[in-house]
Structure 1
Amino acid sequence: MQTQRETTAEAEDRAHRDTAGQPIAEIARFLQDTFSQRVAAFIAGVEDPKQVGRWARELNTPRFDSEFRLRTAYHVFTYIMHCENQHIARAWMMGMNPQLDDDSPIEAISAERFKEVMAAARSFRRGDL
């Protein structure tokens, strides 16, 4: 079933509300299910992928910097998803991006280039790339 694309402002507002309203366990679970436990650990900046599973099961919580990376990845993913769809959002997050010096948004988030990634997402939405 095809859903109507949201405007940029609607998508940004919805992504922000979705991210702010989600417990970190839900975000960890979503990223683990969407990309894999290993990729979610890479995003969070932790060496042990099993740590993501512990966060998802609420056995413990991530450090602030790891939580910030996970929330940023979730925010950007949901923004693209609301503009397009889940499949495009996943591919966009994983693919090389010329605005990010050919790093993927996942790599850039892991490197704490948060504003660059959101700017690239907005450019994608506008059709600049």
Structure 2
Amino acid sequence: MTTAHPRPDLAAYADAARMTQPELVGALREVLGAKLVAYLGRVKETRAVRQWADGTRTIANPEDVERLRITYRAARLIAERDSAAVAQAWFQGLNPILDDRSPALLLRDGDLADVGPQVLAAARQFAAVG
């Protein structure tokens, strides 16, 4: 018998920290789709996302990697509770917990030190109450 981890966000954190760039991007692409991953990774083409996932191209900016790790943590929390489609909608929709701003926009354009914890807290709250 398996029991649920009391803090699923800790499991998502541990996995995100251990994943290689190709593993991280591949997992994100499965949940959020290539277009949303490209947006969050600050690239214009989904080809870059495919290359990242294939390991034929690396993400040069460490901040972009960290942004994708935070995105993975939030996406996993929501997708495990609901579905990938719900996670996609959550990232793109206006979120009342985030002052009616979309998590994707905040992560893409905001200071990660500020918006990262806000987005993760909003994801935890959404996963807890739906």
* TM score, norm. by length of structure 1: 0.78
1:114 aligned residue: 116
How many Å separate the matches in 2 of 1:107 and 1:70?
Answer: 13
How many Å separate the matches in 1 of 2:3 and 2:44?
Answer: 37
2:27 is aligned with 1:30:
yes
1:79 aligned residue: 77
Task: Report the residue type matching 2:98 in the other structure.
Answer: L
Deviating more after overlay: 93-102 vs 52-61: 93-102
How many Å separate the matches in 2 of 1:126 and 1:64?
Answer: 30
* CA displacement, residues 71-95 of structure 1 (integer Å, 9 cap, x when unaligned): 111011112334x133443332232
How many Å separate the matches in 1 of 2:105 and 2:70?
Answer: 12
2:17 is aligned with 1:40:
no
4+ residue segments displaced more than 4 Å? 4-7
Task: Report the residue type matching 1:47 in the other structure.
Answer: K
How many Å separate the matches in 2 of 1:93 and 1:5?
Answer: 28
Judged with a 3 Å threshold, the aligned counterparts in structure 2 of structure 1 residues 115 and 16 are, in CA distance, closer, same or farther, namely same
Judge conservation of contact 2:31–2:75 (CA < 8 Å) in 1.
no
Unaligned runs of 5+ in 1: none
- Quick one: percent identity of the two aligned structures? 27
* CA displacement, residues 56-80 of structure 1 (integer Å, 9 cap, x when unaligned): 1101210212111111110111123
Deviating more after overlay: 9-18 vs 28-37: 28-37
Judge conservation of contact 1:69–1:110 (CA < 8 Å) in 2.
yes
Show the 5 A alignment for 1:1-129: 6=4, 9-62=6-59, 63-82=61-80, 84-87=81-84, 88-112=86-110, 113-127=115-129
- By how many angstroms is 1:6 displaced? 4.5
How many Å separate the matches in 1 of 2:8 and 2:25?
Answer: 21
Aligned residues: 123
Unaligned runs of 5+ in 2: none
CA RMSD of the aligned region, Å? 2.4
Judge conservation of contact 1:14–1:79 (CA < 8 Å) in 2.
no
How many Å separate the matches in 2 of 1:91 and 1:11?
Answer: 21
How many Å separate the matches in 1 of 2:4 and 2:48?
Answer: 35
